[in-house]
Structure formats: C-alpha cells, structure tokens
Structure 1
Amino acid sequence: MDSGRKQQIFLIRHARPLVDRRGWFSKTQAQQFLQDYQVAEVEEILSPQLPPVLPPVKKVYCSPLPRAMATAHMLFGPEAELVVDPVFREFESSIWGLPMGRFPLSWWQVPSRVLWFLGLHQKGMESFRKAKVRAALAAEQLAQEAGAKGVAVLVAHGFVNEFIKRALVKKQWEVLVNGGRGYVGVTQLGRE
C-alpha cells in the first residue's frame, strides 16, 4: 500500500431488529426477548446513509448473527463478499434477577449488563475480560485489512464495535466520525 494514503476502518452497527421491546416483562419473558433478539430479522433500510467517504468495497467483515448479515447485504448488495467471523459477534448477555414481578425490559437488561461488566454475572458465558480481548483481536484483524487494502468495513453490533474502536484508538487510530451506537450508525477511523 502507498504509505501516503490514509488507511480507513468503518464500523457499522446493524439495522433495527424486528422485535418488540415495549411493555412489561417477567424474567422469563426478558430471557425469551434476548433469545428472539439473537435471531431477529431487521427493518429494511430504505435509503442507506453510508458516509460519502466510504469507497466502494467488495469485501465486508461481518458478525455471524442474522441481524448483522442482513444489514450487510442491504447496505452493500448481494455481490459483496461477506467475511463472517465469530470474533465480531456481540458481547454475550443474559438476564439477572429474581423471577418476581414484571418490569420494563431495561429494568432487566441494565443491571444484568452492569453486573457482567463488574465480573459478577457471567456464569455460563464469555466474561467481560475475554470479550475485550476478543474485541482487540477483531481490531487487529481490521487494521491488517486496512493496511493491506486501504479500507476495512465491519457490520456488527453496538458493544463489540465500541470496544473495537477503543482498541484501535489505543493503537493510534483516529476517530474521524463517531456514529455512536444507533442502528446503522457508522464510525469511521483513520490512520496515515
């Protein structure tokens, strides 16, 4: 690659999954929601809002979860080569709490995620520490692609994209556009 050309990485979050989060959930219903979310289809993206600086790409890295693969196909077309790799899957999640009462979904999800971050709720799933290591490996894979081709594109998920971004920033990548964690949000990073 020409050393004067800027390397770029684009991290794209999947489109909105077609699951209903409204209402009040028992613990069992909240657990079922997480299972449904893992296999949910996504809303059709009527007018993709990819940044104009994104060059045409033929190769797109992707999480193996259906919502990420469907989003990648909608954004880049069926002719794009999807490189599906479990290293890009979302951080695991489960529901913590006593099976009493019905509450909004966030009442179940937020404490569960906070406890997982603290290492107190991770039985039977990948720990937060291991998930961060996986995100760093994913960042290295994308950086190698950007080094070889000038650009790397990933369609994945909110948490994993955030921690990939953090790993890249530690390796001197600059955040040029922070798309946040909204659906179809695009974060662009660059390096000379």
Structure 2
Amino acid sequence: MNSIRKAALSCILTILAITSVAAKDKDDLHQTIKAIAAKFEAMGVGASYVTAKGKPVVQQVSFLQEKDLTFPVNGNLRQIALIRHGEPDLRKTGKFSYMEARKFAVDYDSVGIVTPDAPFFEIQNPKEVAVFASSINRARATAQYVFGADSQMTVSPVFREFETAMGEHSPSLRMPIKFWTTAARIKWVLGIDRQGAESFADARRRAQEAAQILVSASADRPKVALVAHGLLNRYIQENLEDMGWHVVRDGGSGYLGTTILVKLDS
C-alpha cells in the first residue's frame, strides 16, 4: 500500500512540476510578445512619414533586427508583414451611375498606384525576406514599389482580393462609389447575384491556404512579407493568430497599412 501511495504522490508532484513549467513558459512568452509590441510602438513614435503628391501617406516601418532586441529572446523569432496595396490611380470622388460603377470595378483591378515619393518599408537584408504579392495589378505594382522591380517575389492569384460582382441589375441612381462597392460586397457575402464569382466560403478557405503558404515560407526565411488586399489580409491574420502567431504592429486597413505578426519557436 505504501508503494502505491508513493507512486501516486510521485505522479502528482510530476504533474504539478510540468504544469508549473508550462505556466512559466506561457508567461515568459506573453512578456516577450509584449516587449516586442512595445518596441514596434516605440519605433512608430519616431518614424517619419512618406509623402505622395506632397501629402503624407504612410509612416516608415521595418522588421525587427537582432540589434533592436534589448531583451532576451529564447528561440527563433519569425515575422510576417501583411501589407495592403497603395492607393489605386483612378478617380474615386463624385457620384457614379451603375454602368460607371461597373467600369470602376474593372479599372480598379487593372490600374497602377499613386506611387509615394520614397520607399516606406526598410529592408536591411533582402536575402532574409521572402516576398509574396497578389496577381492583381495594384498589389503587384505596390510590391515592386516597396521591394524594387528587380527583387525576387512570388506573385500568385491565391493572394488576390475576395471577389465581388456588381450584379446584373442597373438601378437608375447616381451614388458615391463606396455605395456601389459596399452593396456589391454585401450581396456577394449573402450569395446574391454572384455571376460566377467564388463564394464567401471558398474565399475564406483560400485565405487559410494563403496563411499556410506564408507560414511555410517563414520556416526557411525568418521574415516574410505579403503585399495584397484589405479583406484578404484580415482573414489571413485571423488564420495566423489561430496558428499561434501574435500581432505586434497593427497597421490598420488604409492604403499601405502594414500589420506585423510574430512567432517564437523554442
């Protein structure tokens, strides 16, 4: 009986020790992620703005480098940057008829961007960074602006924006373009008048696939950058967080908005 009690007590102590170590590791990870996020915030405070046509458009940003880490990092630090494309170079003000809105939707996928006067994303060692871009022109043009036209990058339709369709109905209205695009997106999410576009469920599965591609790339290079689109990036971010990645810089949803996530591998 004593031997059984001793074995049970030993088992309980082992479980308590393992639980304690796991709790400490989790706390250490939480504190490290907080420190990394604080570092990005501090970098943002002193960052200057890049301009386009004389107006400030985006703050300068970069990945963290080893020299930036003034705290111990126990493990391999991987970073993924999700960058939204720059502002498309076409008219968005005023009111549009239905047919003008349809043409806008087509042009939106084919035009270039309003190129800022200087690069806003600093890359100190290009060999450390795996670059991906959407096949849609506004994102591809942004990637070439950010990383250089001659830089190596993977351009794929997997990273294209969630598809929408203006539909076949043509109400006789003149409304801001935001009205037409929002209405089209709502109809698409509800599965109304899709006109052959992929479903919302299929688009979400594609975002999951895109997230996995970025994670796989980060196993070979510690820094990964994707230049894509607002809605796609949002769902990629959700998938990355589900896989244990942490947002340390939230760049918002504006043009050239850059969100950075990190993961520490022990």
Flag whether TM exceeds 0.5 (same fold).
yes
Relative contact order: is structure 1 or structure 2 higher (C-alpha 8 Å, sep ≥ 6)?
1
Q: Provide the C-alpha distance between the structure 2 equivalents of 1:175 and 1:122, rounded to a whole number of angstroms.
A: 33
Identify the residue that residue 138 of structure 1 maps to in structure 2.
Answer: 210
Q: Is 1:188 the equivalent of 2:260?
A: yes
Alignment of 1:86-105 (within 5 A): 86-96=157-167, 98-105=170-177
Counterpart amino acid of residue 12 in structure 1: I
Q: Which runs of 5+ in 2 are unaligned?
A: 1-73
Indicate if the aligned counterparts of 2:165 and 2:195 stay in contact, CA closer than 8 A. no
Paired-residue identity, %: 37
| TM-superposed deviation, 1:55 | 5.2
Q: Provide the C-alpha distance between the structure 2 equivalents of 1:88 and 1:131, rounded to a whole number of angstroms.
A: 10
Deviations 1:27-84 (A, max 9, x none): 111000000110011111213322x6x6533441011111111111111113310211
Indicate if the aligned counterparts of 1:28 and 1:99 stay in contact, CA closer than 8 A. no
Identify the residue that residue 126 of structure 2 maps to in structure 1.
Answer: 57
Identify the residue that residue 18 of structure 1 maps to in structure 2.
Answer: 89
Identify the residue that residue 109 of structure 2 maps to in structure 1.
Answer: 38
Q: Provide the C-alpha distance between the structure 1 equivalents of 2:231 and 2:125, rounded to a whole number of angstroms.
A: 26
Indicate if the aligned counterparts of 1:135 and 1:160 stay in contact, CA closer than 8 A. yes
CA RMSD of superposed structures (Å) = 1.7
Identify the residue that residue 122 of structure 1 maps to in structure 2.
Answer: 194
Q: Provide the C-alpha distance between the structure 1 equivalents of 2:178 and 2:204, rounded to a whole number of angstroms.
A: 23
- TM-score, normalised to structure 2's length? 0.67
Identify the residue that residue 81 of structure 1 maps to in structure 2.
Answer: 152
Q: Provide the C-alpha distance between the structure 2 equivalents of 1:111 and 1:8, rounded to a whole number of angstroms.
A: 36
Tell which structure's C-alpha radius of gyration is larger: 2
Secondary structure of residue in 2 paired with 1:108: helix
Indicate if the aligned counterparts of 1:8 and 1:152 stay in contact, CA closer than 8 A. yes
Indicate if the aligned counterparts of 2:99 and 2:170 stay in contact, CA closer than 8 A. no
